[in-house]
Structure 1
């Protein structure tokens, strides 16, 4: 189900937004590493991670609180937030609109992946792969920009249960920070003429 968060916006412009399916992880140590989701699945030898620290529901709450039409300098767009994540295959292989909207001013913002990354050299960080697709009045996107946004983590994962609340607050703040980092990268790309595409 989708909810139009800015129903009073002028007709014709829509920004459709999808969250990701939840936190994934990758860890690199001296003696082992590289197993995707080792931490979030509780594999032996991987850092212990609280269950669902940035799940779809949490993402939706933070996306709604971010005032995306202002963050992405598209104040005339009605923001339509969808509850169900899109599959990676659909995102990467389908150039058409992901909705049945016939808006003549249409764009999509897709949170594709959210990763907790930790290694012995650089420490921990939250990485979010976000993709923006601009269609205008077309049925297929005419411009696409996607990149990773990254925020360092110091308290996550928690060293002890008593620090769970601090760790969860940090990783959720990192998710919000990544939204703004991506918005800045998108603006820079658009200013440069949209040369970088992924």
Structure 2
């Protein structure tokens, strides 16, 4: 089964981790990819500029109310939650921070689970907060596939460890193995 969408969350060490993962996504991927990386709220994001030359997919900063296109990689803008609504479409929100973060991984994952359910792949990477743990649990409840970076190999082990406490059945993989999984993106649905 190929997912209709992939959601990825990262914080401390996330740029380096994403530079290993996102270029592995194949050009013909028929899924939308959404990424929340914790960013300072008062600075413009350069993520689309950094990743566009390295990725085969179209790369952009998400815009409010835009329709979701397959084969497109969306980054959450600084100081806005990136949410997925029916359509599917992107919604940006200035609601209160979640787990001290805006954008919040939990907010993205929970709304994506509502829209995509079993057709979703969620990945929690390096970070030093617990953002993403509740969201990954929402994905698991919806029947989505869940992957977590091996905390022992993560620059920030707190985030993947928290995700595993909430979703112990998630697959735990090193970055290179997650990249290989993304390169051959089809997978069997979880049991």
How does the TM-score come out when normalised to structure 1?
0.30
State which structure, 1 or 2, has the greater radius of gyration over its C-alpha atoms.
1
Judging by fraction of residues, say which structure has more helix: 2
